[in-house]
Every structure is written in structure tokens, then in C-alpha cells.
Amino acid sequence: MPSRSNLPQLSIVLLGAAFLVLSCGSSLHPDQLTVRVPAHFSGRVDIRTCVAGVAAGEVTLDEKGSGDTSLCPGVNHTVEIDVIGAERHVKLNSSEVRILRTGDGFATDIEAQISQ
């Protein structure tokens, strides 16, 4: 009886497994940002990104809703925001957060709307 090679079937299985591992491993988790807001703040948040000398994971907003972070979200990255105030804690998921970018994808600002 002639022996049949299992190499083609094994190759297909290995290729499929490699594809699944790479596709699952390539999904990026959102960057996390904690934003401290003044008491009773509501409105638009404008956070300048990639600012040297300030914290990456935490921002304290001024009365106008502005702040700075050294966080520089990559081109395929999203951001989730934990809003912390005197009497509240709200989580904004990445669909509620907008990252403004230059034409080459460099992050310049993070915007979000915080309601009372």
C-alpha cells in the first residue's frame, strides 16, 4: 500500500492556528486615563496629549475642562477615561472618547463630554 503524506493537512492546521493566535494577540487594549474634575464640573473635556513632564495616566482638569497628559495614544489605540470628582466616579468607554490626530496619525488632543 502506498503511504500518503499528512504534510499538506498538517500545514493547513498549523497555518490556521498561527493566524488565530496572531489575530487575537493583535487586538489592542484601550489606554487608561484617570481624569480628576472640579466639583460639579460638566461639559467638554480637552486634554492635550504627548506633553513632556506631566503624568501619563492621570490628569487634573481646570475649571474650563482643560488638562495635559504625557500619554501619546498610538495610531490604532483608543482611550478609556475614569472620571473622578468630589462625589462621583464615571467610566467613559473608548466609543465616548475622541482622539484628535495630525494627518500622519500623531495624537494631539483627547476630547470627551462629561455630563452632570
- What is residue 13's predicted lDDT score, i.e. its pLDDT? 66
Q: Does pLDDT of 20 surpass 90? A: no
Q: Does pLDDT of 30 surpass 80? A: yes
* For the chain, domain boundaries: 29-114
- What is residue 63's predicted lDDT score, i.e. its pLDDT? 95
Q: How confident is the model at residue 9 (pLDDT cuts 50, 70, 90)?
A: confident
Cell 493566535, located at residue: 21
For 99-113, write each residue's pLDDT tens digit: 999 999 999 999 999
- What is residue 18's predicted lDDT score, i.e. its pLDDT? 58
- What is residue 12's predicted lDDT score, i.e. its pLDDT? 74
For 34-92, write each residue's pLDDT tens digit: 999 998 899 999 999 999 999 999 999 999 999 999 999 999 999 999 999 988 899 99
Cell 466639583, located at residue: 39
- What is residue 108's predicted lDDT score, i.e. its pLDDT? 97
Task: Quickly list DSSP for 4-68.
Answer: PP-HHHHHHHHHHHHHHHHHHHTPPPPEEEEEE--TT--EEEEEE-S-TTS-SSEEE--TTSEEE
